[in-house]
Amino acid sequence: MPDMQARLKPEYSLRYPRLSAGVWYDVSPIFPGVTVRRVDIFGRRITRLKTARDFETVQAIHFEFRVDAVQQQDGELATA
């Protein structure tokens, strides 16, 4: 599975004061063997982000996702 990154949507910046809306954060597995996202007991999709200090477990709907830009560029170079 490709490495993913997530960025906070600006309208949710007050809900997550430790995260910046302009920064792309690496998405980490919640538990070993679990891939990118999962559902909590309330049915909300959650994801775990790696920050500079530690990890944040957040609602996935509050974030934009993309494939890691560095990994994507490496793939383009390999196919060229």
Report the pLDDT value the prediction gives residue 19, as an integer from 0 to 100.
95
Report the pLDDT value the prediction gives residue 37, as an integer from 0 to 100.
58
Angstrom distance (rounded) from CA 32 to CA 15: 27
Q: Bin 42: left if φ > 0, else alpha if -120 < ψ < 50, else beta.
A: alpha
Range 7-14 contact pairs with CB under 8 angstroms and sequence separation of 24 or more? 7/63, 7/64, 7/66, 8/62, 8/63, 9/62, 9/63, 9/64, 12/62
Report the pLDDT value the prediction gives residue 76, as an integer from 0 to 100.
54
- 32-78: pLDDT as tens digits: 655 555 788 888 888 889 998 898 989 999 999 998 766 555 555 44
Domain boundaries, the chain: 4-79
Report the pLDDT value the prediction gives residue 1, as an integer from 0 to 100.
45
Instruction: Find how far residue 46's CA is from the centre of its chain.
Output: 10
Report the pLDDT value the prediction gives residue 62, as an integer from 0 to 100.
95
Q: Model-level pTM? A: 0.73
